[in-house]
Chain A
Amino acid sequence: MAETIASDQAGLYPGRMAGYLAQLRQGAGAWLFLLPTLAFFAGYQLWPIIRVLWLSFTDYQFLTNDPSNWVGISNYSEALRDPLMWKSLGRAALFTIMFLPGTIILPLLLAILIDRVTQPRLATVYRVVLLIPAVIPSTLIFVLWKWMYNYQVGPINHFLVSTTGLFTLHNAPQWLGGTALTLPSIAIMEVWWGLGYHTIFFLAGLAAIPKDLPEAARIDGATEWQVFWHVTRPRLAPIVMILVVLRFGTAMAVIDEYLIFGGFNRASPTYTWTIFMYDQAFKTGLWRQGYAAAIGMIGAVAMMIVMVFLIRIFRPRG
């Protein structure tokens, strides 16, 4: 039916052309719809990764006219022998450990509390407030917290020095700028940023649990903790898995925050594998992008391996 109409419409054109157009509509039409997406995706997601993979096996340097040579795995072996590679991976892992539990557990707790708010208008207000940080763009979050942590005018130090008097101006904590406090400071900021968004996720999961299930358990004499552990938790397991895996991925690959708060000091705890890669690719010497590519690939693959384990650990059972 559809075919006849298509060829009827195409009947305006001379015979062969019409047949061709109709065929194009039927077969390639779908790919025409996909074309813009595929073109952009291939050009700016797929190709760069393939190219970086290729570069990682060469001695490519950006700021030179000498042709680059195929060097096999020597970039990889050099990186793996470099203590900085391991140190920078360890720093990224340390940050992830600081960040991940808070960004799962706090929103879960908050969602359980808000789920019981029965007043509809109040519930809406809470939800809107929760999502406000999520609609603030990333860099603006970092700039905001750069001021929160500011040594002179930041409200956090103002609270510690002037309001409570716990510290004086001389020993007030230096939160950012590559001190030992920098990673925890960034972790707190990230938990704040994700708090609302993750709570909304959990709220959606809680809304899908039939209300009579926890009710029945309570009538049977289950404590609130038992209700949570045996009724709520298993049903939220898929959401927990998605959040753990995705947030592990973002936390291990953080770069903007480290660029803004840390810089390129190799001793700084913010000098992770992402900064190491960026430093080699755009800051050091003749921009050794072949070596930088190998660093990036090692970091990415290390991350993906842990992700596979996380999926296996957090996969919902039964």
Chain B
Amino acid sequence: MALDAAHDAAVPSRAGATTGEDPGWFKENRTAIVRHAVILLFMVIILAPLAWVLMMSIKSLPDSMRGDFWPRKFDFSHYSFVFERIHTLPINLFNSIYVTTATVLTTTVCAVLAGYALVHLRPKGAGIVVTVLLVSLYFPVRVVSIISIYETQHWLGLINNTSGLILPYITLQLAISVLIMRSMFQLVPHEMIEAARIDGAGHWRTLWMIGVPMVRNGLVVIFIVNFVTAWGEYLLCLTLVDDEAKRTMPVVLAAAQGGQGQWAWPNLAAVYVIVVTPGIIAFTFAQKLFFKGLAEGVVKG
């Protein structure tokens, strides 16, 4: 690591050329090789647990107890088994999809409207709103507020109600989503908004036709951030919903004791893969936009 790779390759290559031997090539690129080896080691560490679950989900039952990474016999039937035999599973999965979709859509709409208003309409008191949102990021709101959110939901008759979860879920990442949208809209020149207004477009039209297309990358970021939060939320669902059938997937998975009956290890792993894959696939497709949005909105803000 003593030298930059390009530098390293350029300078001693003269020496390598005179000897003209393979060990010379190794010496020249030693730092680059070590660097790639270290990066590769980190990549393996990141991917190994996921590879383990994936393999577990396609192992035969005896292999699942053996612990070897590569099974002696593959068995792909666990995926259909969990849907056919675990009766609450489709319900839990539906609960998760329903609650997450509602949360992501509502939060995104809220954040776009608020971000636009804070930057381009600048009402009096906008500064206070931004300050309060910022401060809320540093206070452990999620933990402390659980006491009185229970009371609120009880008062609204939303205890043990799956739809009731959507309300607190919306606010989990609302502050950060608004702040991301705010920094995205700061990149939209005020003159463009003004021009659209002068051409006779109302605020709604201006936002929809001019604003939203320009903050597309930020939308991807808050979509993913809110999806990840709602899809995996545990504390609120555990506290506010008692019935197994009304709960979302994360709470069910966390409570499942591996190895027993319907929750035999490969079944459990299959459910896990089903729950975790949509997010990873969606991210892989959206990653270009996501990284652009991250660079524009998050790191700056």
Residues of A participating in the B interface, judged by any CB pair closer than 8 Å: 1-2, 5-6, 9, 25, 29-31, 33-34, 36-38, 40-41, 43-49, 51-52, 55, 62, 110, 113-114, 116-118, 126-148, 150, 152-153, 155, 158, 162, 192, 195-196, 200-201, 204-205, 214, 218, 223-224, 239, 245-246, 249, 252-253, 255-256, 259-260, 274, 277-278, 281-282, 289, 292-293, 296-297, 299-300, 303-304, 307
B276 at interface, CB cutoff 8 A: yes
A139 with B254: CB separation less than 8 A? yes
**Shortest Cβ gap from A307 to chain B (Å):** 6
Query: Which of B12-20, B70-78, B81-89, B291-299 is found at the contact surface with chain A?
Result: B291-299
Cβ contacts under 8 Å, A31 to chain B: 117, 123
A132 with B140: CB separation less than 8 A? no
| Neighbour of A49 across the interface among B46, B139, B259, CB < 8 A | B139
Cβ contacts under 8 Å, B133 to chain A: 41
B3 with A224: CB separation less than 8 A? yes
Contact code string B201-212 (vs A, CB < 8 Å = 1, else 0): 011000000000
Additional 14 contacts, C-beta under 8 A, given A25-B202, A55-B148: A2-B198, A33-B203, A37-B178, A48-B145, A110-B39, A116-B35, A137-B233, A137-B250, A147-B268, A153-B64, A200-B294, A201-B299, A256-B235, A274-B143
Residues of B participating in the A interface, judged by any CB pair closer than 8 Å: 1-7, 35-36, 38-39, 42-43, 45-50, 52-53, 56, 64-65, 67-69, 106, 109-111, 113-114, 116-118, 121-123, 126, 129, 132-133, 136-152, 167-168, 170-171, 174-175, 178, 197-198, 200, 202-203, 224, 228-229, 231-235, 238-239, 250-251, 253-254, 258-259, 265, 268-269, 272, 275-276, 279-280, 282-284, 287, 290-291, 294-295, 299
Residue of B nearest to A116 (CB): B5
B234 with A253: CB separation less than 8 A? no
B299 with A145: CB separation less than 8 A? no
A38–B49 alpha-carbon span in the complex (Å) = 40
Cβ contacts under 8 Å, A113 to chain B: 35, 38-39
Residue of A nearest to B44 (CB): A129
A136 with B146: CB separation less than 8 A? no
Cβ contacts under 8 Å, B52 to chain A: 147-148, 155
Knowing A143-B272, A200-B294, A245-B138, say if A131 contacts B287 (CB, 8 Å). yes
| Neighbour of B43 across the interface among A33, A129, A140, A146, CB < 8 A | A129
Cβ contacts under 8 Å, B46 to chain A: 129-130, 132-133, 192, 195-196
Cβ contacts under 8 Å, A44 to chain B: 145, 149, 152, 167-168, 170-171
A59–B208 alpha-carbon span in the complex (Å) = 51
| Neighbour of A135 across the interface among B3, B200, B235, B279, CB < 8 A | B279
Residue of B nearest to A282 (CB): B239
Knowing A132-B283, A138-B232, A259-B234, say if A289 contacts B64 (CB, 8 Å). no
A45 with B174: CB separation less than 8 A? yes
Cβ contacts under 8 Å, A141 to chain B: 232
Cβ contacts under 8 Å, B42 to chain A: 110, 195
Residue of A nearest to B109 (CB): A36
A41 with B3: CB separation less than 8 A? no
Cβ contacts under 8 Å, A137 to chain B: 228-229, 231-233, 250, 276, 279
B147 with A52: CB separation less than 8 A? yes
B250 with A140: CB separation less than 8 A? yes
Residue of B nearest to A257 (CB): B234
Number of cross-chain contacts by CB at 8 Å: 279
Knowing A139-B234, A143-B254, say if A131 contacts B283 (CB, 8 Å). yes
Question: Nearest 8 A-B pairs (CB), nearest first?
Answer: A137-B232, A48-B145, A139-B250, A33-B117, A30-B123, A30-B121, A253-B140, A158-B67
A158–B202 alpha-carbon span in the complex (Å) = 64
A153 with B65: CB separation less than 8 A? yes
A256 with B234: CB separation less than 8 A? yes
A113–B234 alpha-carbon span in the complex (Å) = 35
Cβ contacts under 8 Å, B198 to chain A: 1-2, 5
Residue of B nearest to A273 (CB): B143
A297–B143 alpha-carbon span in the complex (Å) = 10
- Chain B at the A interface: SS class: helix
Cβ contacts under 8 Å, A46 to chain B: 132, 136
A37 with B174: CB separation less than 8 A? yes
| Neighbour of B129 across the interface among A38, A126, A223, A304, CB < 8 A | A38
Interchain residue pairs with CB less than 8 A apart (19):
A34-B118, A38-B129, A41-B174, A41-B175, A45-B171, A47-B148, A48-B152, A62-B150, A136-B232, A137-B231, A137-B279, A141-B232, A147-B53, A153-B67, A192-B49, A214-B4, A218-B4, A274-B143, A300-B143
A253–B146 alpha-carbon span in the complex (Å) = 13
A51 with B283: CB separation less than 8 A? no
**Shortest Cβ gap from B143 to chain A (Å):** 5
| Neighbour of B259 across the interface among A128, A133, A153, CB < 8 A | A153
**Shortest Cβ gap from B11 to chain A (Å):** 12
**Shortest Cβ gap from A22 to chain B (Å):** 11
**Shortest Cβ gap from B270 to chain A (Å):** 13
A37 with B228: CB separation less than 8 A? no
- Name, among A9, A126, A260, the residue most crowded by chain B CB atoms within 10 Å (CB to CB): A260
B167 with A40: CB separation less than 8 A? yes
**Shortest Cβ gap from A192 to chain B (Å):** 7
**Shortest Cβ gap from B191 to chain A (Å):** 14
A146–B53 alpha-carbon span in the complex (Å) = 12
Residue of A nearest to B124 (CB): A30
- Name, among B67, B144, B290, the residue most crowded by chain A CB atoms within 10 Å (CB to CB): B144
A11–B126 alpha-carbon span in the complex (Å) = 31
B113 with A36: CB separation less than 8 A? yes
Cβ contacts under 8 Å, A278 to chain B: 146
